[in-house]
Structures are given as structure tokens and as C-alpha cells.
Amino acid sequence: MLSLRPRAYSPRARRDDATLMHPSQADDDTLREKCAVFGIFGHAEAAAHTVLGLHALQHRGQEACGIVSCDGEQFHAHRALGQVGDTFSNPAVVAMLRGYAAIGHNRYATSGGTLLRNVQPLFADLDAGGFAIGHNGNLTNAYHLRRKLVRRGSLFQSTTDTEAIVHLMATSTANSIIDRMVDALMQVEGAYSIVALCRSAVIAVRDPLGVRPLVLGRLGDAHIVCSETCALDIIGATFLRDVEPGEMVVLDESGVHSYRPFPPRPSRFCVFEYIYFARPDSVIGDHSVYAARKRIGAELAREAPAGADVIVPVPDSGVPAAIGYAAESGLPFELGITRNHYVGRTFIEPTDQIRNLGVKLKHNANAALIDGKRVVLVDDSIVRGTTSRKIVQMVRQAGAREVHMRISSPPTRGPCFYGIDTPAKDELLAHQYSVEGMRREIGADSLAFISVDGLYRAMGKPARDPDAPAFCDACFTLDYPTALTDEESTEGQGELSFLAERTATGRRRKRSLA
């Protein structure tokens, strides 16, 4: 994962001059969202609809957002650090984004730092015309591509891996924008769902494995591509279908055009989208995300029953799985933990005392529902274990006689290299301990995870075929579906002084595969 920062940079202490530490960053005990993309062609209010679409996709990235529109002659852009509601709250900003076509992007920085120059969509004046691009995913050979391009004379303006695609297009000998884009994508590895904008079209591409989601919709005569169907719902658009793995969709004045420029490969969609990342009201791959999470919870109850009195979700992501677990087990479901949805940035000095109280900024136990009871806590994952430990302790302090933890994903054993910000392998609790060791670390009376095969059954698949798995499940199985060129190679280490250095996150990931 390519990123350029001075060696002294540490995201634990200082993320960027223009940002402050979020409470959730103090513990950094979660798998963070990726990014979101949205594109629309053929609507007089393209930018306004893009703003609404990005609102619906805010859960996929909260650090920055941007929109580029085109009126057929000129491109108009607005990008900023912060969330959609702040960035595009001024009607004059939206009115400035003229045109019948627009693309938008919500960013969570899995590659590059939190800098304004990294905010997408990126824009470039190619000799084939103006071109803007937004990318959800991560390129696993971006460092090698960048080094080659810099040596050939390319001048990079950002530290995000997405810019490598722009430079590959700029140096391509193909004639059209579309052919240049195909030429560039033939050279990249990893995962990507891309929306791009030129003067006459919106272009959407999904990588051959289909790791990241991308859907196609329609609103009157306009067509839309976006990360999830919830973005179609908010603007009243009709969901048509998923963009298929390896498919390029071009939206222009004559409609929708589908191309298959890449050799076909078996799909490896990210199963964690169903477990946690996608919004529960979205439909992905013909599956309702909400229904999938309930099925996962029911399968978890069959695999790991618990002698208990009440099922309590860790809100919000644990709620659908807990409903499924409760229905299958026949135990009552209670909202025994309340989440504060208004936790924003904090100016409180992060002393040890305040940091130890940090979990209560987001969650508080409802003692009236759990006092004296045997409680099953249902959550989506355990990363470092610090949050789980505090929640178990909080529930005990509220009077629970027993606390049993059930997790609706298998143990997270390895980092993701495809667009999800995960800790290095040696920082993951499941890498350090057995399940019993994890139980002792978080202080629960029992701990169980859904099995990989159970997860597949919940998704309507047979047991996982190690030779042809239906999903990308590498964070559980360490079976990475693409080459990890930048992570596996030591070539070029120590030669980055002319560019700067990787972020602390990138260095941790490099060590994780050592």
C-alpha cells in the first residue's frame, strides 16, 4: 500500500495538520471502512444527486469527500477534508458543480495520508482530454508502479495509489480514454471499483475478482453507478444490477455500454462486506445485507450455543446477527447496550484516565436489562481486543452474572491488502492467541466465533473449497487472491529518499509479512 510520509510521522500521535484525533482512533480497535464511489450521467442536477448519494455512503469513509462534474466543456470540482454534510452544506458550492454528469468519492485513507491533495476524485488533463477518477480498493503493486513511473519522468501530486492509474493512462500509447484506462488497469494488481469522468461519459470498472462492490441503477433517463444500493434508494433510483467482476460500464448519451476487457476469473467478493462494512439496507450480489447478517447470527447460534438468559448486541453492527442468534436459540433479545450516535471529534487531552473511559463515549450498559443475568454479547469481530475487553468489563459492572461473547465472523488472523485498514498481523489478537487465550484476554466466561464453513453456509454456499473459494476471506484464512507485490518484495527498500517514506501503517504492514 503506497504512501509517502516523513519517517517521524505517527498516526497515533498526529494524523495531519488539518485533523484532530477521533475517539475511536485512540484505541484503533476496529476494521475501518474503505471508500465509496458514486457516478451519474444524464441528469440536470447531477452534482446534487451525487451529494445525496455520498451522504448514503458516508459509512464507507468519513475523512474526506469530493465531487467533480462536467458540463460537456468544463470540469468543476470541490474537495475537502471532513464529512459530506459539512463539505456540501452550502448550496452555492453545489450550484458551482454544473453539468449533467458527476462523480463523487468518500475517503478513508487506506493508502496515503489524510491530506487535501489525496482527496478524490483526482483530476488530470490528459492529451486525450480532461479525466477524473475515484477509486475504492487498494493496489498491491502501486509502489512498484510508482517507482517505475517516477524513473520515467512522471511527477506525482498525491501520495495515494490511485494516482498510479492516472500516470499509466498518461503514458499509454492507446488512442481513446477507454483504451488507455484498460491499458492502465491491465498493469495493476489488487482490488478496485472505479468511477471515472471524461467530457462525454462516466466510466465504471470493477476488478476481475470483484472484491469491492459496485452497482448500476437508473433514475429517469439518467444512469448511476455506486458502491451500494442504499445510495440509489436515497435519490429514488431503481437498482438494475451489480456491475460484474471484470466489467467496464460506460454511461453516455446513448445509454449504457458494457465491455469485458479482462480475462475472466472466478469471483472473490469480500465477505466482510456482508459481516460489517456494507449498510444493512443495501443489497449486494442478490443478498440483502441485513438478511445475510441474521443468517450468520443463526448459524453462529447453531455452532456455538450458550447457556444464558438474554442476547445483547454490541451496537450497531452486532444487531442483525444478534437478532438471528436470539431467534435460533429461543432466548430473548434485548438492547442491553446503548450506543451514543453523537460522538464526534474530541479536544479532551487523551490522558490514561480519559482514554480508559473512551469506550463509554460510545457505549453504555443498560443495567436494568442485564443485572443478575447470564448475557450473550454478539459482535461482528475482534481486532486487537481492547474494545471487547472494556465492553465485557462494562457489562459485568452493570451486574451480569456471566458474560459469553459470540462473534459473527471467524477470527481475524491477517491484515487486508485490498482497501480495508487493518492492523499488522502481529497486532491482531487472533494471531497472538488461541480462542481460549483470547477469552482470557477479554475476560469473558466463554468465547466463540462462527467457523469459515459456517459463514459460507450462512451465505448459501457449501463448505469452503480451498481450491476455489467463493469469497475473499483472506483476513480469516490468509489465502490472498492476488499477488502482494509491494508487501512480499524487499526490492527497492532504502531507495525511497527521493520520495520520502511509507506511513507508519504501511511499515507495520510490511513487518506483518516478515
User: How are beta strands 471-472 and 269-270 bridged, if at all?
Assistant: parallel
Is the alpha carbon torsion for 387, 389, 392, 396 positive or negative? negative
Cα–Cα dist 248/245, whole Å: 9
The contacts of residue 23 (CB under 8 Å, 6+ apart) are 343, 345, 346, 358, 361, 362
> What's the distance, Cα to Cα, between the start and end of the chain in Å?
15
Q: Which residue of the set 35, 198, 416, 472 is catalytic?
A: 35
| Environment class of 453 (CB within 10 Å of its CB; exposed 0-12, middle 13-18, buried 19+) | middle
Beta bridge partners of 257: 250
User: How are beta strands 122-126 and 363-365 bridged, if at all?
Assistant: unpaired
CB 32 within 8 A of CB 140: no
Burial 28-47 (b: 16+ CB within 10 A, else e): bbbbbbbbbbbbbbbbebbb
Instruction: Please report, for residues 117, 144, 146, 160, 334, the alpha-carbon distance to residue 1 in angstroms, rounded to integers and kept in the order given.
Output: 17, 10, 11, 9, 41
Cell triple for 483: 499477488
Cis check: omega of the bond before 316, within 30 degrees of 0: yes
Q: Where are the beta strands (DSSP E) in 227-382?
A: 238-242, 248-252, 255-259, 269-270, 283-284, 287-288, 310-313, 337-339, 363-365, 374-379
Cell triple for 147: 517507482
Cα–Cα dist 446/377, whole Å: 10
Cα–Cα dist 510/489, whole Å: 9
Q: Where are the beta strands (DSSP E) in 340-478?
A: 363-365, 374-379, 402-407, 446-449, 471-472
User: What is 79-112 written as a DSSP string?
Assistant: EEES-HHHHT-SHHHHHHS-SSEEEEEEE--SSS
35 a catalytic residue: yes
CB 86 within 8 A of CB 54: no
Phi then psi dihedrals of residue 248, to 5 deg: -110, 125
| Environment class of 93 (CB within 10 Å of its CB; exposed 0-12, middle 13-18, buried 19+) | middle
Q: What DSSP element (H or E) covers 203? A: strand 201-206
Residues serving a catalytic function are 35
